[in-house]
A and B are shown apart, each in its own frame.
Chain A
Amino acid sequence: MTAVTDSNEATLTLPTDEQILITRAFDAPKHLVFEAFTTPELVKRWWHAKRGEMTVAEIDLRVGGRWRYVMVAGDGTEVGFHGEYREVVPNERLVSTETYEGLPEGVTEEQGTTVNTATFAESNGRTTLTILVQAPSREARDAIIASGMEDGLQDALTLLEQVTQSLR
Chain B
Amino acid sequence: MIRCVARAATTTDAFNAVAEPRRRQILDALADGERPVNDLARDLGLAQPQMSKHLRVLREVGAVEMREDGRRRLYRLNGAALKPIHDWVKTYERSWSDRFDQLDVVLEELKQREVEEVDGSDG
Contacts and interface: CB of A to CB of B under 8 A. Distances in A.
15 contacts: A4-B21, A10-B100, A12-B19, A12-B92, A16-B10, A17-B16, A26-B104, A26-B107, A28-B111, A46-B102, A49-B95, A149-B88, A151-B91, A151-B94, A159-B87
Given A2-B25, A11-B21, A156-B91, A32 B102 contact: no
Nearest to A19: B10
B92 A145 contact: yes
B89 A145 contact: yes
A33 to B, nearest CB: 7
Contacts of A10: 93, 96-97, 100
Given A2-B25, A27-B107, A163-B83, A12 B102 contact: no
B76 to A, nearest CB: 10
B102 A148 contact: no
Nearest to A45: B106
B90 interface: yes
Interface of A: 2, 4, 8-17, 20, 22, 24, 26-28, 32-33, 35-36, 42, 45-51, 142, 144-149, 151-152, 155-156, 159-160, 163-164, 166-167
Interface in B35-50: 44-45
Interface string B70-102: 000000010110110011111111111111101
A148 to B, nearest CB: 3
Interface of B: 9-10, 13, 15-16, 19-21, 25, 31-32, 44-45, 77, 79-80, 82-83, 86-100, 102-108, 110-111, 114
Contact of A22 (B90, B91, B96, B107): B96
A155 B102 contact: no
A22 B114 CA distance: 28
A65 to B, nearest CB: 22
Given A2-B25, A10-B96, 14 more contacts: A4-B21, A14-B19, A16-B10, A24-B97, A32-B110, A33-B107, A36-B103, A36-B107, A42-B110, A46-B105, A46-B106, A148-B92, A152-B95, A159-B90
A28 B21 contact: no
Nearest to A167: B79
A152 B111 contact: no
- Name the 5 nearest CB pairs between A and B, nearest first: A148-B92, A46-B102, A49-B99, A49-B98, A167-B79
Contact of A148 (B32, B86, B94, B108): B94
Contacts of B106: 36, 42, 45-46
B107 A28 contact: yes
Contacts of A35: 110
